[in-house]
Chain A
Amino acid sequence: MASLKDLRSRIASVKSTKKITSAMKMVAASKLRRSQDAAEAARPYADRMGTMLGRLAAAVGGSQGAPKLLAGTGKDDVHLLVVFTADRGLCGGFNASIIKATRIKIRALRAAGKTVKLICVGRKGADALKREFGDAIVARYTGVEGKKGIDFSAATDVADKILALYDEGEFDVCSIFYNKFVSAISQVVTEQQLVPFAVPEADGQEEATGSSAVYEYEPSEEAILADLLPRNVGVQIFGAMLESSASEHGARMSAMDNATRNAGDMIDRLSIQYNRSRQAQITNELIEIISGAEAL
């Protein structure tokens, strides 16, 4: 049976934990709002880039001069996976779920006899994956999210690295793994192929009217594609970073909300226990006094 003093210090420590978790929740909530806004603001660019590329790809598609980023290397031997995780923990299953998905993918690829290379964005991913796949990690990036949110240049750094590797023929297929933000309590692990560029499915109506219009290209389809495709890699990475950061803050917010609630429950339980044992002690003392008095 814990003494009263033990219980008191226990309650005090749970209370301070609760203060910390509820503060972290508030911080996560305000960061979530900001990164959610940023993710939404970035969508128009990615959308328009996507439709433009789709149109161009349809125009150039299949011709001999198609850039390598669109046509691929014609092989499927070396896979590069770009994994987006958080720099910090304490955000529920956020990091664990993405790492688990990556691990399953890597094992499946290795079982199929492919070579796997990894780029880790975010410290947690690199830390968790380096034990098992340390030799596969070609690059790691941390601290992409600065004080003022995520800068596009952070995305171009990663994109430049990917493009440089591709130019050197270091990999054939590149996919990115990130948590797509659905809501504060729900994030979906998403795998997306980055290289070669996957032409989006034509979405009926718009395409039916759009593709009949003949576009002029200046300077030429190939030149524009050559300019646009590398840029698209950066945009996709940027989008993934934003989604991932919104997901991280959402996950942390709900994790900390849970923790705060648990701490509250625990304080209640401990307080009841404390009151009971205090009462029991008083009763005990009374009995002792009374029985002492009766004995006289």
Chain B
Amino acid sequence: MTDTTVLELVSPSALLKSEPVEMVVVPGTDGNFGVLPKHAPMISTIRPGVIDIYAGGKVSERIFVAGGVAEVNPERCTILAEEAVPVADIKADEAQARLETAEADLKAATTAHDKANAERALEIARAQIAALSN
């Protein structure tokens, strides 16, 4: 039996996942990091990207998150994500539509606040498309 760490993926509306995994790779703001059992405690913010869950040395599941925070301690890895969908469920045309809306919003944005929001949406859409292409 290999060592496992508990992965908890929580979105505002539900506890999406709470199960032992061998390793999980999280897209941190300062770069991806892998979490293995007995990882040193840390808290990191997450950029839009894909969480890779490993089982038996291979990627078993890929989940797209639109940013959030992760808390890691030796027993568990808790990810608070604003939006999380399995990569397999992302539709290419929807992601493309989202990208276009975000681009249009960015052009139309007048205040700094709107602009920041649109930029964030754009980043999420780009990450989603990138997630699909590999």
Contacts and interface: CB of A to CB of B under 8 A. Distances in A.
A7 interface: no
B82 A152 contact: yes
B13 A152 contact: yes
Interface string A219-232: 10001100110010
Given A48-B71, A164-B113, A217 B13 contact: no
A266 interface: no
A42 B12 contact: yes
B80 interface: yes
Interface string A36-48: 0010011011001
A223 B74 CA distance: 23
B4 interface: no
Interface in A119-178: 152, 155, 160, 164
A56 interface: yes
Nearest to A227: B45
A231 to B, nearest CB: 8
Given A52-B69, A164-B113, A218-B28, A213 B41 contact: yes
Contacts of A214: 41
Contact of B40 (A41, A42, A160, A216): A216
Given A215-B41, A224-B43, A224-B45, A42 B69 contact: no
Nearest to A152: B12
Nearest to B18: A44
A227 B44 CA distance: 10
Nearest to B33: A218
A210 to B, nearest CB: 8
B33 to A, nearest CB: 8
A272 B76 CA distance: 69
Given A218-B30, A224-B45, A49 B80 contact: yes
Interface string B1-38: 00000001011111100000000000011100100000
Interface in B98-121: 113, 117
Interface of B: 8, 10-15, 28-30, 33, 40-45, 69, 71, 73, 78, 80, 82, 113, 117
Interface of A: 38, 41-42, 44-45, 48-49, 52, 55-56, 152, 155, 160, 164, 213-219, 223-224, 227-228, 231, 234-235, 238
21 contacts: A41-B14, A42-B12, A42-B13, A45-B11, A45-B12, A48-B10, A48-B78, A52-B80, A56-B43, A152-B13, A152-B82, A214-B41, A215-B42, A218-B28, A218-B43, A218-B45, A224-B45, A227-B45, A228-B45, A228-B69, A231-B69
